[in-house]
Chain A
């Protein structure tokens, strides 16, 4: 396979948080139990003036800067999201303009529940490897909504991660290979013009998340002849704080290897950004030569699995994002349910 790699990366998260216990209180549930059941302490709350486009722009600006590239050389911008500010009008155009890309490029928004961002990485990989473009910008960004009182409300957060994909020689991590696993599985959806998504409850676990994450990961190992033990870090899509640990157990990954990329417990599920924020957190600390495995999951359903090898370029000045994911998450302000309801426009008149 003609290779490509990650030239720059960046993440962006809202500053507001709400504790799972604070949401549980409103619905008469035991906060401690809900929190430990989901493995989530708190989730991010996008403010009134934040949406998946603003978060995407913030992450993309960091990625372009850390990549030390001329934004005029970006040939493609793809934004994966399921919470677009416009139903029709691409977020990718806003991002392209804001990062200073030229008009001589292609752009589109992609949709595949929580894995649209990793699908964007794959699209950029192909275009870079074929020589069609020099750099591609792949973004996962969401301001996820859960229906008030629904189980999803405890986990649905907001955030974005952006990746500049380019030639291996310039990359801080080379993409060695990718493998995808896709089926028609109705575990989670949102119909056109509906505000909140619906899901199949327990059905979202075994036949959906676990089947696809495990199959894609095993598929990648089979395709590349690698063993799971060959990887130093493993990142899975993280709809809650518990599923990645269970997937790790099934695949024989020790807990220490998923810890660095497990962000949902203190950020919530950022949907399209979820596994990509996890990967960013790994890149914040990974050393040259280390191998990273990432597997995303999107309801509907499918998983994209990737093998990255970190290069010595990562040690160069300013090639990591200036503030690590864990550092960024320390700058926060916790809000009560009323403030959260206002900012997320959960009050009917808003």
Chain B
């Protein structure tokens, strides 16, 4: 459970903001970051690039026997997420109903606590994903509450 502080610190740009790599020679994106392009090798030109924060579920599983440090969260959903640029990454799926977690369900990145080094140690934050609920309704502007049933409590 105890994580090495330098490793937590080094991974901050990657875990907070999905900072990955892009090869300017072949146009491929990589996450996590790569020092050289595996396709182009010496001809490749690697630069840093922020990955898209939206994607879809490629495959998923429910973890019952959690590793040390994650026992309280079990059972939890783990998925391979395919980002909009085709990059795959492994992430916990949170804030989503189990029925909504399906292959091809649209997901977006959220910022969560990943682990903590006991009660005294440092806290590691980073990305998790959640299923996008009702994607169309989410982009509509609000309506005044006078017209809503949830608004008032007599």
Interface residue ranges, A against B (CB under 8 Å): 15, 36, 39, 41, 47-51, 53-54, 57-58, 61, 85-86, 94, 97-98, 100, 241, 256, 259-260, 265-266, 281, 284-285, 320, 322-327, 329-331, 333, 342, 350
Q: A41-B153, A265-B153, A326-B142 are in contact. Are A331 and B133 (CB under 8 A)?
A: yes
Complexed CA–CA distance, A284 and B94 (Å): 26
26 CB-based A-B contacts, threshold 8 Å: A36-B153, A41-B153, A47-B94, A47-B95, A48-B72, A49-B94, A49-B113, A49-B114, A50-B112, A58-B111, A86-B123, A98-B111, A98-B125, A260-B144, A265-B153, A266-B150, A266-B153, A281-B145, A285-B144, A322-B138, A322-B139, A324-B141, A325-B142, A327-B137, A331-B133, A342-B72
Q: Which residues of A are found within 8 Å of B140, using beta-carbon distances?
A: 327
CB neighbours of B112 from chain A (8 A): 49-50, 54
B73 at the binding interface (Cβ < 8 Å): yes
Is A15's CB under 8 angstroms from B95's CB? yes
B residues bordering A, Cβ < 8 Å?
12-13, 16-17, 72-73, 94-95, 97, 110-114, 123, 125, 128, 133, 137-146, 148, 150-153
**Nearest CB to that of B73 among chain A residues?**
A48
Interchain CB contact (< 8 A) of A97 among B12, B133, B137, B152:
B12
Q: Which of B12, B146, B153 has the most chain A CB atoms inside 10 A of its CB? A: B153
In the complex, chain A residues whose CB is within 8 Å of the CB of B123: 51, 53, 85-86
Residue of A nearest to B148 (CB): A326
Chain A hits for B152, CB < 8 A: 259
Bound CA span A48–B92, Å: 13
With A98-B17, A259-B146, A266-B150 known as contacts, the answer to whether A61 contacts B111 (CB < 8 A) is yes
Given A100-B17, A330-B150, does the pair A54, B141 have CB atoms closer than 8 Å? no
CA gap between A281 and B148 in the complex, in Å? 13
Instruction: Closest A residue to B138 by CB, please name it.
Output: A323
- What are the 5 tightest A-B residue pairs by CB atom distance, in nearest-first order? A324-B142, A284-B142, A57-B111, A49-B113, A49-B112
Q: Once bound together, how far apart are the Cα atoms of A240 and B12, in whole Å? A: 38
Residue of B nearest to A259 (CB): B145
A241-B153, A265-B153 given; A50·B142 CB < 8 A:
no
Cα-based distance from A322 to B95 in the complex (angstroms): 18
Distance (whole angstroms) from the CB of A7 to the closest CB of chain B: 18
Complex interface: chain A residues within 8 A of B148 (CB): 326
A283→B42 CA distance, assembly (Å): 53
> Quick one: given A97-B16, A256-B146, A320-B142, are A39 and B114 in contact (CB under 8 Å)?
no
Asked if residues A54 and B125 are in contact (CB atoms below 8 Å), the reply is: yes
Q: A15-B95, A326-B150 are in contact. Are A58 and B138 (CB under 8 A)?
A: no
